[in-house]
Amino acid sequence: MRVLVLNGPNLGRLGRRQPEIYGTTTHAELAALCVGWGEPLGLAVDVRQTNHEGVLLDWLNEAADEATPVVLNAAAWTHYSYALLDACAQLSAPLVEVHISDPTQRPEVFRHTSVVTAHAAEVVAGHGIDGYRLALESLARLTRP
């Protein structure tokens, strides 16, 4: 089964951006890990990252059209993008929201709100890069017949 792992703004800078919060794993390393974690679960994982909101919306529209399950780390857009909320609302296959840190534990109050959560089958937060493995395991469980 094909699944999308979609990452929003600044996640392409993983490994360099605030490693004390996001760790030292690069986005390329994360992508390879996700593909590897997906294989034994029977998941063909396609990992993508963008700094452009419209591109992410197009990918979510693609997932809606093809009934493709999604792991989504929308990064900053998580907290305020109503376009993202609307795109997630149209998904028919499961969506698992993932965050490397736990936004509800961050000091910035704006991070405590997610427009994605209402449309997510599950939320995985605060497990570092390993959260993506947990999210893929959730998708595998949620999509089993």
Q: How far is CA 29 from the centre of its chain?
A: 15
Q: Please indicate if the annotation marks 111 as binding a ligand.
A: yes
User: Is 99 one of the catalytic residues?
Assistant: yes
Amino acid in the structure at residue 14: L
The Cα 80–Cα 96 span in angstroms is 18
Is residue 73 annotated as involved in ligand binding?
yes
Q: Is 51 annotated as a binding residue?
A: no
* Residue 86 among known ligand-binding residues: yes
52, 82, 99, 112: the catalytic one is 99
Nearest to 77 by CA among 59, 56, 91: 56
Q: Is 132 a catalytic residue?
A: no
Distances in Å between the Cα of 83 and the Cα atoms of 21, 35, 74, 86 are 27, 28, 12, 5
* Annotated catalytic residue, options 22, 27, 119, 132: 22
Q: Any known ligand binding at 79?
A: yes
Contact 106, 82 (CB under 8 A): no
Q: How many CB atoms lie within 10 A of CB 122?
A: 18
Active site residues: 22, 99
Binding site listing for substrate: 73, 79, 86, 100-101, 111
